[in-house]
């Protein structure tokens, strides 16, 4: 919290340098000194905001989208510990890669990600079918319906 206040004060000083230009008035130097000092302080403030607030939120969001994360069907629609879920997902992905090996050999540049994910999801659902969350969420119902489609 203190660092946010310090960088906020730094931002205010940078803006004051750009608006009032004290160095150019008192030392009779060109206005570029004030503008560059203000710009540098604003850039430092923006770097701080990105590293302190934006980046951690983006990292947290990315982690929640990984398999078995809180924003994924595996994390939301099954009653499993995250480590167990990730291990099952990894095992099912390896099995599906073996099944899709012929397709990969025939079309090495083909996009197999969606087929691999769907295969892994189906195999995982077969393995942990009894651990489905008993929530009446439309998201989970749509996910399970998607898995049952041919």
Question: What's the pTM value of the predicted model, to 2 decimals?
Answer: 0.61
For the stretch 52-104, pLDDT in tens is: 888 888 877 776 678 888 888 888 889 989 899 999 999 999 999 999 888 88
Phi and psi at 20, nearest 5°, equal: -90, -20
Alpha helices (H) along the chain: 2-20, 22-26, 32-49, 55-65, 73-77, 82-99, 101-106, 113-127, 138-148
DSSP-derived letter for residue 80 is -
For the stretch 2-25, pLDDT in tens is: 888 988 898 898 888 888 888 777
**Biggest CA pair distance of the chain:** 79
CB-based contact 112:103 (threshold 8 Å): yes
For the stretch 27-57, pLDDT in tens is: 777 878 888 888 999 999 999 999 988 888 8
The residues pairing with 132 across neighbouring beta strands, listed in sequence order, are: 78
């Amino acid at each position: 919290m203190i660092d946010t206040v310090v960088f906020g004060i730094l931002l205010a000083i940078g803006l004051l340098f750009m608006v009032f230009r004290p160095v150019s008035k008192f030392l009779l130097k060109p206005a570029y000194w004030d503008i560059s000092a203000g710009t540098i302080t604003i850039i430092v403030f923006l770097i701080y905001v990105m590293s302190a607030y934006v980046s951690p939120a983006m990292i947290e969001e990315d982690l929640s989208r990984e398999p078995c994360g809180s924003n994924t069907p595996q994390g939301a629609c099954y009653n499993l510990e995250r480590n167990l879920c990730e291990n099952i997902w990894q095992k099912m992905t390896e099995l599906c890669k073996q099944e899709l090996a012929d397709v990969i050999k025939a079309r090495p540049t083909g996009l197999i990600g969606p087929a691999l994910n769907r295969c892994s999801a189906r195999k995982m659902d077969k393995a942990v079918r009894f651990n489905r969350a008993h929530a009446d969420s439309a998201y989970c119902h749509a996910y399970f319906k998607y898995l049952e489609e041919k």
